[in-house]
Amino acid sequence: MNNPLNPHVLISEVGPRDGLQSVKATMPTADKFRWIDALVAAGVREIEVASFVPPKLLPQMADAAEVVRYGKQKAGVTIMALVPNLRGAENALRAGADKLTMPVSASTAHSLANVRRTPLEMVEEVRAIARLRDELAPHVKLEAGISTAFGCTLQGLVPEDDVIRLAAACIEAGADESGLSDTVGYANPAQVRRLFRRLKEEIGDRAGAAHMHNTRGLGLANCLAAWDVGVRTFDSSLGGLGGCPYAPGASGNVVTEDLVFMFEAMGVSTGIDLERIVAARAPLMQGLPGEPVYGMTPDAGLPKGFRLAA
Amino acid sequence: MNNPLNPHVLISEVGPRDGLQSVKATMPTADKFRWIDALVAAGVREIEVASFVPPKLLPQMADAAEVVRYGKQKAGVTIMALVPNLRGAENALRAGADKLTMPVSASTAHSLANVRRTPLEMVEEVRAIARLRDELAPHVKLEAGISTAFGCTLQGLVPEDDVIRLAAACIEAGADESGLSDTVGYANPAQVRRLFRRLKEEIGDRAGAAHMHNTRGLGLANCLAAWDVGVRTFDSSLGGLGGCPYAPGASGNVVTEDLVFMFEAMGVSTGIDLERIVAARAPLMQGLPGEPVYGMTPDAGLPKGFRLAA
């Protein structure tokens, strides 16, 4: 059962999208390709490679279509793209993305700041995207990621009922799955367990990924909490690159290297080779000279006698 | 029930001992006093203030007796001292320590490197210390902290049976409680749950603190795992100061500020005020100029609308 060919958890690498869009420098397309190569070589099976937004808003993502097409050559790897609206979805579908992820914020204040629409307007956008997907590429999966699900730097508290209702509305509107994102690093393990349990009660198997940040150091503890209540897909970012450019105070996605170490040490197979995932930092750092990368496992090395979950 | 006057967990601050003995600089005694003042002002109720070792081995601890006597003036605060042997215990008892902690390593290789005795020789030392305590100061509590309980940089794997057997032997020899230490940052949450469950089965209420390190970023996840199986005392270090000078690769105790944030955010009262514990970094940094301090919560600040567990 615990077999690298049939891993227990899916680590969804979001660095090439979430990471790159949050830094000022633009990684050259050729470096993105080398980074994707290294991620795939390490065993990563799902990569969020780009965001389909106007290049004048995020020049880092101007090569989104090209990067999706490159990623598509990798057999057995799901190439994801973030789409903030119908136009972005159309471009992502035409580029050949395997899976779309649409951020839908549970905080009205954050939603307006991020995409200039209310949460309910975003549900209607999900509906329009689902329809377009049905026409253009019915095999493509559509995820609605509920952002600021654990609190918001602008609004503060986000009622749990709002989060669950919004996730259910996205599924009703045609999304295949809905996950919860701690966009600004406010989540705590008790809240993570409570909300993912409620999400599962509400939408069952359509409950999606845990997208945690490490802003206050709780990233891995929150992933553990999500794992405890049955979450099996985890977003993370190599070197902890990332954040949200429109949410003040947001910083630091969960570090892929440390997350993989935690699960493998627990005997939970990720399908990812730890030495190779650490090696995948080289093309990242080459493509973003001087940009800080985070993570403890790469510096500390593996414990003496450590073995991957098998 | 969840009352700051009757907190759910005890955070045992080990920075003045574990932190200070692992840095090269020696903090002046007056700065140690100011640091202890600030910790107590923040609500910390147990502080490991010193190690009773020969000053030629650890000059940072030459003022151990003076620091214990200073700490003793704080009402309602348990003043702990680490003692590696009978002679250290005698000095600590004469200085007036409320509680002694004796490190007993489950790894023979680490035990020899750290105190030049085997684990079984250390159990006999625990017995001698317990006897001395009974004579000199029978109210003083004696803890045996099983170090390298989750693995060792020298020996690699440490069999779980060895750990549990050693903890039981220390209790039999007269220790009041026995906790488990991840001296070199090898622990993972599954192992933490398994070992603390076994410890509780073996020695019941005498199961003591979780002493976790953050070497590979898993410190808080491991504390969460320990909390889940009933551990209610947690060692941590302000600013993450600390490690073990005799265990290569050991670094970084769990950061008190982040640990307190995690529990308080979960609604688990620590009795510690978050703003004041962050303020307690000032005397630490003043007394150790240029020494790096760690922790995410102090930089990120508290979430909007955050309230302490009440």
Given a contact cutoff of 8 angstroms between Cβ atoms, the answer to whether B254 and B235 are in contact is: yes
Catalytic residues of B: 244
Query: How many other C-beta atoms are found inside a 10 Å radius of the C-beta of residue A6?
Result: 9
- Put simply, the chain A residues between 39 and 98 with a CB less than 8 A from any chain B CB are none
pLDDT at A169: 98
Query: Are A191 and B265 in contact (CB < 8 Å)?
Result: yes
CATH code of domain B10-300: 3.20.20.70
For chain B, what are the domain ranges? 10-300
Q: With CB atoms and an 8 Å threshold, state whether A258 touches B157.
A: no
The rounded distance, in Å, linking the Cα atoms of A61 and A52 is: 7
User: What is the structure's pLDDT at A9?
Assistant: 97
Residue B273 pLDDT class (50, 70, 90 cuts): very high
Nearest by CB: A217 against B153, B191, B220: B220
Rounded Cα distance between B303 and B310, Å, is 17
**Side-chain half-sphere of A44: how many Cα atoms within 13 Å?**
37
Using CB atoms, which residue from B155, B191, B221 is nearest to A224?
B221
Note the pLDDT tens digit of each residue in B227-259.
999 999 999 999 999 754 444 444 689 999 999
pTM above 0.90, yes or no: yes
Question: What integer pLDDT is reported at residue B114 of this predicted model?
Answer: 84
Mean pLDDT of B89-102: 98
How far is it, in rounded angstroms, from Cα B9 to Cα A95?
Answer: 53
Count how many pairs of residues, chain A against chain B, have C-beta atoms within 8 Å: 122
- Contact call for residues B298 and B257 (beta carbons, < 8 A): yes
B103 versus A295: the higher-pLDDT residue is B103
SS (H, E, C) chain B: CCECCECCCEEEECHHHHHHHCCCCCCCHHHHHHHHHHHHHHCCCEEEEEECCCCCCCHHHCCHHHHHHHHCCCCCCEEEEECCCHHHHHHHHHHCCCEEEEEEECCHHHHHHHHCCCHHHHHHHHHHHHHHHHHHCCCCEEEEEEECCCCECCCECCCHHHHHHHHHHHHHCCCCEEEEECCCCCCCHHHHHHHHHHHHHHHHHHEEEEECECCCCCHHHHHHHHHHCCCCEEEEEHHHCCCCCCCCCCCCECEHHHHHHHHHHHCCCCCCCHHHHHHCHHHHHHHCCCCCCCCCHHHHCCCCCCCCCC
Percent of chain B at pLDDT exceeding 70: 95
In this complex, which of B190, B225, B296 lies closest to A267 when CB atoms are compared?
B190
Instruction: Give how far A243 is from chain B: nearest CA, Å.
Output: 13
* pLDDT, tens digit only, all 310 positions of chain A: 345 456 799 999 999 999 999 888 999 999 999 999 999 999 999 999 999 999 999 999 999 999 999 999 999 999 999 999 999 999 999 999 999 999 999 999 999 998 899 999 999 999 999 999 999 999 999 999 999 999 999 999 999 999 999 999 999 999 999 999 999 899 999 999 999 999 999 999 999 999 999 999 999 999 999 999 999 999 999 999 975 444 444 468 999 999 999 999 999 999 999 999 999 999 999 999 988 888 889 988 999 989 888 7
pLDDT value, residue B246: 47
B184/chain A closest Cα distance in angstroms: 9
Nearest to A262 among B155, B214, B221 (CB): B221
CA of B51, closest CA in chain A: separation in Å? 26
Give chain B's mean pLDDT: 93
Are B190 and A151 inside 8 Å of each other by CB?
no
- Tell me the average pLDDT across B264-290: 96
For residue B282, pLDDT over 60 is answered with: yes
- B248 in A contact zone (CB under 8 Å): no
Instruction: Please determine, for residue B200, whether its predicted confidence score (pLDDT) is greater than 70.
Output: yes
Catalytically annotated residues of A: 244
